[in-house]
Structure 1
């Protein structure tokens, strides 16, 4: 069944109002040149989760440090998307955590981006397990929270139990998509590889080994080796019928490796990473496919940046926090971004202050914890971003 959620005036535009008035009646009641109020329940299917214009703004939030209500207050908007992670199949405790997240999102957000991590391997993704998850998603949808499932992300990396197994990964993704599309029409599927700079990420625990079928499938130039000359994305693509969204997280870790120094992002870095033309960080990623063109334009999929932020390591010296983060979000939010990339439909900030093994120390990725950074960030939010509803929507009755 379709899912009913509440939408504020800055929420998903262009969606028919289930019990709305005709335009003429609205004009009679509200007067001419008055924008119709959308803070009421509307009927959504998965296609309607894509805004017709602009991009959804969301957050990957450390809910242990800050509840979603406090983040929304700091931001000045309810985020359109809230990112959650869970193992799959998940435990009873993990399911309880998801239910708590759903409640926070229904009150102070709009939709969930649910990242499923099959830590026991792709063999655990059975039709029965997928159907059980989809039934839970349908309950979340009925409770007023749409869900976009980011299944087994960064599958082209070498560090997860589902890594570099293209055939098994595609089968598992399609199994999950079939269940979600059948049982939870208020939910959608996202395919989200890791940014391909450094591919094939040699030395990881789960890298494909020479002589295996996986290695052969990933050797797209058939030269007997895996390198940047091989396509970092295409062997893992599950197909247009299974995929509703495509996504790729893009971070500024620094201008030069090793990471850990506070460095300004190079001009144009965000665009160059999204299009596979970045040359920097002691390497040349210009051999990468143009992710936006291939999957956003050629495949016609809405493109998401599921996570993004700029590294600031307190006490590490170098550039200041505000300068680094402002330079990064300035690239994301400049007016040319939405004009050049009309298929870019979601941007989620990584709002964590945490220890990072890559730098062997603390990194503050946040933009709402430091008053000066928060003021600059909220002032810099462009008008083409879409946020959550101004009012909550009660789930429909029987």
Structure 2
């Protein structure tokens, strides 16, 4: 049986929170989701600080590589077309060289015992309308998005799949006139297919409470039909906001239901553990079903701990297998 890998998004400057979350849950988060823009001046930060911190904490980074150059305001609306045409090849080559060196580990040689691993998620949620690399969000087409992905992949296609896994990740619903399927680069350019999905509750004017099945069913079925690839959910979370106000107990029930649902269908799922648009966090957020105390000075949801421990208990006894070769490839 495939063991579901557990991961989380926590801001890199709060990595101590993820360590505390592991200790509280009694189980390892094997994957740490991080976000970086396309910034030529940021290579040292990514490869000398960010990725080493994640790896040295005992986790595999899931690097969400956002084609902001380097900020949303400075990114041209036709960024996907420009990348596809080669305008950023120098940056891609420099980035690939740094990634190659990081994956090789301290001895600088790939294929040895100190090699590292990374999931790479470029240009995510391209079937929405909030990113400039998305056809509905910028001045681009699905064909140009596909060409962008393939060009990026081709600049580093010598990196072994045992060390680098490519994650093509959509939003759980199409927003705009372009489907997720229209932006699929092809099986030879993708290792994992993924989707991000949230229960916004009534935290937004446009949102309502949605069960895990309502959030994920349709797109999971579409991904299964699109490609015979392992499936992941790099971002999942729930608000606690209901029509009657905040209801942590209802969010706790959603967490239990979501993990039961996802762990039957995906090989990797990562909780979005930062309060951002609403109270997404399951640990160290604005509220929970357990309040801060002398033992654990954080708000937390016991349902999250219980579900994560269940996954750990279903893994084999050797802890390294939880992030081992087969799990890394989604097998």
Q: Tell me the TM-score normalised to structure 2 length.
A: 0.73
Structure 1 residue 255, shift from structure 2 partner: 5.6
Q: Equivalent residue for 1:156?
A: 127
1:252 aligns with 2:199: yes
Aligned residues: 278
Q: Secondary structure at the match of 1:254?
A: coil
1:179 to 151, 155, 170: 155
Q: Equivalent residue for 1:353?
A: 275
Structure 1 residue 327, shift from structure 2 partner: 2.0
Structure 1 residue 232, shift from structure 2 partner: 2.0
Distance 2:217 2:289 in 1: 33
Distance 1:320 1:94 in 2: 42
Q: Equivalent residue for 1:73?
A: 23
Q: Is the 8 A contact 1:170 1:237 kept in 2?
A: yes
Q: Secondary structure at the match of 1:154?
A: coil
What runs of 5+ residues in structure 2 fail to find an aligned partner?
69-74, 106-114, 136-140, 291-299, 324-331
Deviations 1:160-219 (A, max 9, x none): 22121211110110112223331354112111122225x21xxxxxxxxxxxxxxxxxxx
Q: Equivalent residue for 2:109?
A: none
Distance 2:158 2:15 in 1: 35
Larger Rg computed on CA atoms: 1
What runs of 5+ residues in structure 1 fail to find an aligned partner?
1-51, 201-225, 277-290, 357-362, 394-398
Deviations 1:144-171 (A, max 9, x none): 4311111111112222221212111101
Distance 1:389 1:110 in 2: 12
Deviations 1:239-261 (A, max 9, x none): 1111111111110001696158x
Q: Is the 8 A contact 1:60 1:82 kept in 2?
A: yes
Q: Is the 8 A contact 1:141 1:184 kept in 2?
A: no
Give every structure 1 segment of 4 or more consecutive aligned residues whose post-TM-superposition deviation is greater than 6 Å. none
Q: Equivalent residue for 1:240?
A: 187
Deviations 1:335-363 (A, max 9, x none): x6544x2xx11100001023x2xxxxxx2
Q: Is the 8 A contact 2:241 2:247 kept in 1?
A: no
Q: Equivalent residue for 1:53?
A: 2
CA separation of 1:376 and 1:233: change in aligned 2, threshold 3 A: closer
Distance 1:60 1:347 in 2: 10
Distance 1:313 1:91 in 2: 40
Taking the TM superposition and a 5 Å limit, the aligned residue runs for 1:326-365 are 326-334=252-260, 337-339=262-264, 341=265, 344-354=266-276, 356=277, 363-365=278-280
Distance 1:275 1:65 in 2: 32
Q: Secondary structure at the match of 1:309?
A: strand
Q: Secondary structure at the match of 2:128?
A: coil
Q: Tell me the TM-score normalised to structure 1 length.
A: 0.62
Taking the TM superposition and a 5 Å limit, the aligned residue runs for 1:93-104 are 93=42, 95-104=44-53
Distance 1:160 1:379 in 2: 35
Distance 2:21 2:302 in 1: 13
1:110 to 59, 74, 90: 59
CA RMSD of aligned residues (A): 3.1
Q: Equivalent residue for 1:10?
A: none
- Larger relative helix fraction: 2
Higher relative contact order (CA 8 A, sep 6+): 1
2:245 to 318, 329, 333: 318
